[in-house]
Structure formats: C-alpha cells, structure tokens
Amino acid sequence: MSGAGPVTRAFDAAASRYEAHAGPQAHAAARLAARLSELPLPEAPRILEIGCGTGFLTRHLASLDPRATILATDRSLAMLRVARANLAGHGGISFAAMDGERLAAGGGFDLITANLAWQWFFDPFEAVERCRALLNPGGWLAFSTLGEANFAEWRALCAVRGLPHGLRDYPSLAAWRSRFPAPCLITEERHPTTYPSALAFLRALRAIGAQAPVSGHRPAPAGALRRVLRGQEAGFRSSYHFLHVLIQSY
C-alpha cells in the first residue's frame, strides 16, 4: 500500500519532474547495475526491486536477462505510474505499491535490489534481515544507500551558523561493516555535485522529493535560513556519500 507519510507525499509530488533533476541517482543506478551484471545469477532470475522510483535501475534490470521476472515496487503510486510508462514495452516486469520495510511479496527471489531507497527506512539493518529471508539459497541482496558523510558540506555550513540541517543521520560505513562483516561486501563512493548556489541545492532536493526532514525537525525561521544561504551564491558543492552493499544468502 502507498503510505501517506511525508516521505511518500514528497516523492508523489516530485514524480513527474524527478528524472530531470536526478543526475546523482542515475549515476548510482548505473554503478549498481554494473555490479549486478557481474553476479552469477541463475537463468531467468526472479528479481525484486524496492523503491524503484521512476525506473532508473529497473531499465538496467530489464537488460540483465530477457527471461528475468522482475517485480518493481515503491511506496509512491505516482512514482510507480511514471516507472510503468518508462518501462512500457519491456516484458517480464510487473509493478506493485509496497513498503520496502514490510514486503508483501512472498519469497523465492534470486536477487533483491534497490537504488537509493534504503536510506529512507526506519530500520535499515532489520530490512536487510527481512530481505535475506526472501532470497533463494545463494540469492543476492544488492543495494545502494547513503552514508554518514552525505551532504557533509551542507551539514557543516548549518553547524557553523547554528541552524538545524534537518537531514537524517545514516549508519556509517563502519557500522554497516560491523553489522554485516565479510563475506558481505560494503564499499563507498564520494560523488561531489556542484550547484549554482546553496539555495539551488535545497531546490534540487525538493525537485527529486528528497526534502522530507527528519521527524521532529523544526524548520528554521526564514531569516535564519537566509543568513545561512547568504554568501553561497557563487557555486555550492554538496557531496553524495554512496554506500554499495552486497550480501549473499546462505
């Protein structure tokens, strides 16, 4: 079911313009897809995608194996509508509204994957365990998420000016590695992105639906925010910190 919480509402509202502003997300999807293409999946694999959005990763999945059966899911109905249109004509793909933390998809998957949806979960580690239980023996869980240094520049700027940044705190690379040690493989990638200004950075987040603040966040008064943004009009660098997680079921 599509939830009506602030996160889903923000992605619903952004669905139609998402791809025009989601360069870093497209980049992460391509990186993840390259890893998936190297996995020794069985013929005609059963694949579950969580948080498919408009289908950046789904398009890569569609070309992995033409006999694959792909169930692409998301909580946002508007995102699913766009994904369906983007994937029209590709056989073997079905779409369903589903909460990635409460999957109602049965089991028996050879691959469960997600590009940049995990960071929205309340309990990202528990979600891993739930997905593991849905994999065939030898099946794979492979996803990208965000690490502790995501948007470090914006966090630092807000800290200096005493303004709450409103961003979520994500488990660190070290925490992921400690919870899921080798042979689980967890790697990181820094992806710096430059915006015309700090305000443009905040607008870009809104344009992709990623602006929903951490729960309990009290927005800063407009004047305080203006003071933070002042002086950041000649280019603002904000870096994504991607984590790529690869886990095989026993």
By CB under 6 A, name the binding residues for ligand SAM: 7-8, 11, 22, 25, 29, 50-53, 56-57, 74-76, 79, 99-101, 115-117, 120-121, 210
Rank residues 7 and 173 by Cβ distance to ligand SAM and give the closer one.
7
Residue 140 C-beta: closest distance to ligand SAM, Å: 17
- Return d(Cα 15, Cα 9) in angstroms, integer: 10
How is 24-67 classified by DSSP, letter by letter?
HHHHHHHHHHHHHHTS-PPSS-EEEESS-TTSHHHHHHHTT-TT
Q: Of all helices (H) and strands (E), which one includes residue 204?
A: helix 198-207
Residue 22 C-beta: closest distance to ligand SAM, Å: 6
DSSP SS3 for 119: helix
Residue 118 C-beta: closest distance to ligand SAM, Å: 9
Residue 74 C-beta: closest distance to ligand SAM, Å: 5
Rank residues 74 and 110 by Cβ distance to ligand SAM and give the closer one.
74
Q: Which of 131, 102, 124, 119 is nearest to 249 (CA)?
A: 131
Sheet with 69-74, strands from edge to edge, namely 93-97, 69-74, 46-49, 109-115, 135-146, 236-248, 185-195
- Return d(Cα 18, Cα 22) in angstroms, integer: 6
Residue 100 C-beta: closest distance to ligand SAM, Å: 3
Residue 139's CB: how many other CB atoms inside 10 A?
26
Q: Which of 140, 137, 242, 126 is nearest to 184 (CA)?
A: 140
Residue 84 C-beta: closest distance to ligand SAM, Å: 13
Residue nearest to ligand SAM (CB): 53
- Return d(Cα 159, Cα 165) in angstroms, integer: 8
